[in-house]
Amino acid sequence: MTKETTPKENQEALRKIIVDLGLTQEQIAELLSKKTQRKISYRAVKSWLADPDIKSSRPCPYWPIKTLKKN
């Protein structure tokens, strides 16, 4: 089952997870890399969390939230 969310909702959820876990964006990138077995850069995480008006901003996908919520 796929959860339909907007990039803004995903961005807010990712921010909450980062705060709840007490990790930095770099640490989140490392954690995602470990859990997915693929390289997730700090810059990717940073771009997902950037203000949408900034050129380097990218829509935040749902998969990082789903991945981080798994035990």
What are residue 24's phi and psi, to 5 degrees?
-85, 170
Range of the domain at 20: 7-69
Residue 54 lies in a domain: yes
Residue 2 lies in a domain: no
pLDDT in tens, 31-49: 999 999 999 999 999 999 9
Residue 25 lies in a domain: yes
Whole-angstrom distance, CA of residue 41 vs CA of residue 36: 12
Number of folded domains that form the chain: 1
Residue 26 lies in a domain: yes
The band of 1, judged by pLDDT with boundaries at 50, 70 and 90, is: very low
- Confidence (pLDDT) at 31: 97
Residue 1 lies in a domain: no
Residue 56 lies in a domain: yes
The band of 71, judged by pLDDT with boundaries at 50, 70 and 90, is: low
Residue 53 lies in a domain: yes
pLDDT in tens, 8-25: 999 999 999 999 999 999
Q: H or E segment at 63?
A: helix 63-69
